[in-house]
Structure 1
Amino acid sequence: MDGYAVRGPAPWRVVGRRLAGPGAAPGTLLPGTAVEIATGAPVPGEADAVLPYERSIRVDDTVTPDPQAPAGRRNIRVAGEDAQAGDPLVPAGRRVTSAVLGAAAQAGADTLAVRRRPAVRLAVTGDEIVHGGVPAPGLVRDALGPAVAAVVAAAGGTVAASVHLPDDGAALHAALTAGGADVLVVTGSSSVGAADHLHRVLAGLGAAWHVDGVQCRPGHPQLLARLPGDGPWVVGLPGNPFAGLVAALTLLQPLLEALTGAAPAPGVRLPVFGSAPVPARGVRLVPVHLEPTRATIATGARPASLRAAATADALAVLDPGWTDGAPADLLPIP
């Protein structure tokens, strides 16, 4: 605080001034004396407190406390009061936010040990896919490419490359073995149709399977595998846009967050109101609008459409037996 560093009971005789800047603290402060001092200046070691200007009365070289002012704090910061040498500033797994950078600088840490952003290679498959304009008959716009890129960024990754592949096993094999990525994301080709080659190509590469289908609607044909020799992870997303978004939020996002070492976000659970069919087994994910104490199901959600999700704030995970107004877990839409 700007004011007077004082020692002993009042009144105090002002014997010097110390402004912020380099240099040691003023010399010995005797009882009954004070040093005019600025915020950030070294305080004499014998000082009992700093009396702010607004709580003081000065006449010539004598200072007394303002009798109308409430008793104040010492207003002295002590070296090491925030952290001692060797103390962790933040736990492992925290993202490097503006506050973390500031705290590190304040503690004198010039470098930080961090995990780099996972590099993601995105392969959009489909002979019917176009990437601009209004699609001609028999063609569809790529909706998952932009959506997945946003999920990757929100989860701490970076899209290192994005390619469009025809429905061809050899082209998919080449894309999976091109290197240069920690995670390979394939949209489409994850199901069992005639044009879906991902299972066969991964089997030929000797991939280790971790997830092969999830009991959820939509988004069931999602998969997670890893190529041999600590190779890249492979995430397969359904080609239907909303189903693919569901898989990206339930499989790709947690994978990327784990690779960055991020601590899991706290779960959010609210009563969900509206109407939606729930499967006898597994779960159904529906887009919802959030209010402070409840969520409402957005109408018009379909596996092939992102329109309802575009108006929503989160996805609600409806368990079997869910009924209107029952609570459900929520996944924010980044």
Structure 2
Amino acid sequence: ASAPEVSFDPATQLAVLPYSSGTTGRPKGVMLTHRNLVANVCQINPRMGIGADDKLLAVLPFFHIYGMTVLLNAALYNRASLVTMPKFDLVEFLSIVSGQRCTYVFIAPPVAVALAKHPLVDEYDLSSVHSIFSGAAPLDQELGKAVANRLGCRVRQGYGMSEMSPVSHAIPFDRDDIALDSVGPSIANMECKLVDPATGEEVAYPTDGVSEPGELWCKGPNIMAGYLGNDEATAETLDGDGYLHTGDIATVDSEGVVTIVDRMKELIKYKGYQVPPAELEALLLTHPQIADAAVIGVLDDEGEEVPKAFVVRQPGAELDEAAVIAFVAERVSPHKKVRKVEFIDLVPKSAAGKILRKDLRAAETAGR
């Protein structure tokens, strides 16, 4: 039998329905069209530098939009080889990279922590890797540099959301001059602006230096059609001009390079000051005795919100609360100090590597 004739509008026909990570609330079905997916592959292709000779390691799940677009679809588009893993396991990861001679590895920051700190890494030949690209959560500059130096490869990071198919920003593969704690410039065919959450006014683009922080708004052919069966959430996120309100606070410099500060909902309000948890987490990871860390806001005895660190010690480390508090206090402004510390075995994370702060908050509330 001959193939059926199929006709539809790629701009409106639903292609996939990934669910938002649910790191800050209930997961929502994100309606992405065929045009969304194709557009994003074309938008990111010049930034990634993937070639037909590359072997990409796919440790990220394809049901997550990062894995689907940046790995599966981008690899197929470029006729590159794709080496798959069912889940992340450090020994398997290192063995596959070494044995298959993978050249391009896409990760989330928790994998970067292992690559920078774990002693097992030195036992494998990872010389085939020329590029590591991190996404799904913020990558600290010092952590990225540690990975680059240890493996002798370039490290880049990007930014996106399920609602943007997912990429809106990425550091180009050939731009060593862009700071690794940024997410690079906007990708092609996107309009982005920063808006002051307090006033609703657009933040001025700087002629020199760095702008004031504001919520990042993005518009382009990769922006979702809306949330499935949730008109209210769609209206809260997509405005009448087509801009997606990301909920992330960012800055932009005079060269157009964007740096993500933190999620609006995640910012800790300490005595009127805003404290980004991601900044404290990145700092904690520079401590040689800390394997992993997460920070949330909790209430102290006076009802004031204060930063609390959940810390995973390195094996054999002798680290107490006072030492962690002192380490942070020596390196940050007074309002950003960690006020409480709890040692845990594992930081809860999503399949894509995002810290599930809502789980930590729920456990904190239950333990009161």
TM-based fold match above 0.5: no
More strand by share: 1
Of structures 1 and 2, the larger Rg is shown by 1
The two structures have a TM-score, normalised by structure 1, of: 0.31
Higher relative contact order (CA 8 A, sep 6+): 2
The two structures have a TM-score, normalised by structure 2, of: 0.29
